[in-house]
């Protein structure tokens, strides 16, 4: 087989793999990007040793901006989506789940009613240290997960909660056996701009004392007015799922669509 | 000519192996996430919803909580909607049970029938033991993955 043919074959394979990974990308188009209305930004909250997984110090988190985007090309890092980045719509009582990247059209725009809430966050370490696997509790079990005390988890900083389904976003339901349980309309992150940078876990970031790091967190949203399940007018960022005392900010996103 | 064919065969083999590896990487949802949820003594409170793709046990470890022990349920649903019904599919000692009790800081494998009974999504529910007499809620920070890999974890009962 001629050498040129082999080279062409290898190039073709490379292109095939590249297209498999980025089929969501099409031509360079950018969707609407609307600034948030009044939301009290920037918003500062602390992640400390109170009931958090910190051994000492605190992380001072500042949310500097939060906005809806509906085009994948508005993201800097396209590899930041989690493995659960799915989005749900309801059509005549049938729930339809679009798995990543099926909710992205070929030109990069999201399907009708789908958005990514992109939160810009700046985190400063005020002497913050995580427990490591060398820290042992009273039972002799390791408290931490890693050896490095300066690894922190991006997916436990903030959550998205919808109060459309109840004052706290909480509904009390009863199981067939009479057991009462609650249901919380709350979601974790679907996107982390610094994902996969640390080998220990794709969702952690490293921050030494005194350092500041800026990154983006994203939450997939399906608009209730477009057969989705989230009410843009009643979404909050919260530190804890199901606890209104831990709400950080009311996003008031409904005005963005107008 | 033979050399070229051998080279081509090698290239195709590498491609095949890479394809298999890529598929394997997406087969199980075993990456850890770290939710924080408010729990109380009166009702089971749900945590994060995640896709479950195989019939392995759920990996769970309570990280930060005022309580040392917690009731834990493994529930399944056809939907990832937080307003959907989630059915208890917790198993212990080969029997369907209402819950298992998990100690903080211990890595558990929670047996369940979520995938076996056709559900696509898993969600853990938590309740405080009544021995913790305070009626106020407390926060539970935990790490979990719907599908698990590896061994050596304590099987929850």
Q: What is the pLDDT of residue A28?
A: 30
For A60, other C-beta atoms within 10 Å of its C-beta total 17
Poorest-pLDDT segment among A70-74, A184-188, B7-11, B152-156: B7-11
Confidence of residue A107 (pLDDT cuts 50, 70, 90): very high
Radius of gyration of the CA atoms of chain B, in A: 20
pLDDT tens digits along A54-78? 999 999 999 999 999 999 999 989 9
Nearest residue on chain A to B106, judged by CA atoms?
A141
Q: Residues of chain A with pLDDT > 90: what percent?
A: 57
pLDDT in tens, A139-149: 898 989 899 99
Respond yes or no on whether ipTM tops 0.90: no
Shortest Cα distance from B45 to chain A (angstroms)?
5
Residues of chain B with Cβ-Cβ distance to A173 below 8 Å are 85
Mean pLDDT value of segment B16-45: 72
Please state, in angstroms and rounded to a whole number, the distance separating the CA atoms of residues A52 and A37. 31
Chain A residues in contact with B64 by the CB 8 A cut-off are: 51-53
Q: Say whether pLDDT at A21 is over 70.
A: no
Burial class (CB in 10 A: 0-12, 13-18, 19+), A147: exposed
- What are the structure tokens assigned to B89, written together? 């599919």
Is the pLDDT at B8 greater than 70? The verdict is no
For residue B98, how many other CB atoms are within 10 A of its CB? 14
Nearest CA distance, A79 vs chain B (angstrom):
14
Does the pLDDT at position A86 exceed 90? yes
The verdict on A132 touching B (C-beta cutoff 8 Å) is no
pTM score: 0.81
Could you give phi then psi for residue B133, rounded to 5 degrees?
-65, -20
Using 50, 70 and 90 to split pLDDT, how confident is the model at A91? confident
Give yes or no for a contact between A100 and A85, defined as CB atoms under 8 angstroms apart.
yes
A17 touches B: beta carbon within 8 Å = yes
- Report yes or no: A116 and A218 within 8 Å, Cβ to Cβ: yes
Lowest mean pLDDT among A151-155, A169-173, A208-212: A169-173
Q: Give residue B97's pLDDT.
A: 95
Selected residue of B19, B50, B81, B147 to mutate for chain A interface (largest A Cβ count, 10 A): B81
Predicted confidence band at B17 (pLDDT cuts at 50, 70, 90)? Answer: very low
Contact A252, A66 (CB under 8 A): no
Most confident of A30-44, A79-93, A240-254, B91-105: B91-105
DSSP per-residue codes, A72-99: GGG-S-TT-B-TT--EEEEETTEEEEEP
Nearest 10 degrees: Cα torsion A66, A197, A114, A63: -10
Q: How far apart are CA B127 and CA B137, in angstroms?
A: 10
Query: Of A12-26, A106-120, B1-15, B17-31, which range is least confident?
Result: A12-26
Query: Given this model, what pLDDT does residue B151 score?
Result: 81
Pairing of strands B69-77, B91-92: unpaired
Tell me the pLDDT of chain B averaged across its residues: 85
Q: Give chain A positions within 8 Å (CB) of B82.
A: 162, 165, 183-187, 229
Task: Assign 3-class secondary structure to A131-160.
Answer: CECCCECCCCCECCCECCCCEEEHHHCCEE
Give me the mean pLDDT over the A188-202 stretch: 95
In angstroms, how far apart are the furthest CA atoms of chain B? 81
């Amino acid at each position: 087989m001629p050498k040129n043919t082999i080279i062409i074959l290898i190039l073709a394979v490379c292109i095939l793999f590249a297209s498999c990974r980025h089929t969501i990308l099409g031509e360079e188009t950018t969707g609407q990007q609307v600034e948030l209305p009044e939301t009290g930004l920037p918003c500062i909250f602390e992640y400390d040793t109170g009931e958090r997984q910190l051994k000492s110090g605190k992380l001072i988190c500042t949310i500097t901006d939060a906005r809806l985007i509906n085009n994948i090309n508005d993201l800097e890092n396209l590899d930041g989506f989690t493995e659960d980045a799915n989005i749900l719509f309801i059509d005549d009582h049938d729930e339809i789940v679009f798995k990543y990247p099926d909710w992205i059209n070929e030109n990069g725009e999201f399907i009708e009613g789908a958005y990514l809430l992109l939160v810009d966050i700046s985190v400063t370490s005020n002497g913050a240290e995580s427990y490591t696997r060398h820290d042992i509790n009273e039972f002799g079990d390791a408290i931490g997960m890693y050896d490095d005390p300066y690894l922190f988890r991006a997916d436990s900083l903030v959550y998205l909660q919808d109060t459309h389904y109840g004052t706290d976003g909480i509904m009390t339901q009863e199981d067939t056996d009479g057991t009462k349980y609650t249901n919380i309309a709350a979601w974790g992150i679907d996107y982390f701009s610094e994902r996969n940078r640390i080998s220990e876990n794709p969702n952690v970031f490293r921050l030494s004392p005194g350092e500041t790091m800026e990154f983006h967190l994203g939450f997939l949203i399906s608009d209730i007015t477009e057969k989705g399940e989230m009410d843009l007018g009643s979404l909050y960022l919260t530190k804890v799922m199901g606890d209104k005392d831990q709400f950080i900010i009311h996003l008031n996103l409904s005005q963005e669509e107008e | 000519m033979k050399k070229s064919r051998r080279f081509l065969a090698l290239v195709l083999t590498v491609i095949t192996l890479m394809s298999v590896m890529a598929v394997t990487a997406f087969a199980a949802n075993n990456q850890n996430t770290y939710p924080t949820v408010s729990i109380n003594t009166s009702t089971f409170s749900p945590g994060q919803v995640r896709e479950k793709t195989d019939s392995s046990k759920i990996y769970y470890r309570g990280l930060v909580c005022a309580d040392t022990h917690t009731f834990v349920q493994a529930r399944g649903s056809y939907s990832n909607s937080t307003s959907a019904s989630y059915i208890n599919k917790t198993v212990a000692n080969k029997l369907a049970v209402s819950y298992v009790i998990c100690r903080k800081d211990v890595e558990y494998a929670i047996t369940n029938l979520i995938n076996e009974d056709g559900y696509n999504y898993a969600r853990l529910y938590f309740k405080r033991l009544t021995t913790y007499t305070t009626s106020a809620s407390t926060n539970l920070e935990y790490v979990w993955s719907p599908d698990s890999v590896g061994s050596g974890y304590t099987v929850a009962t």
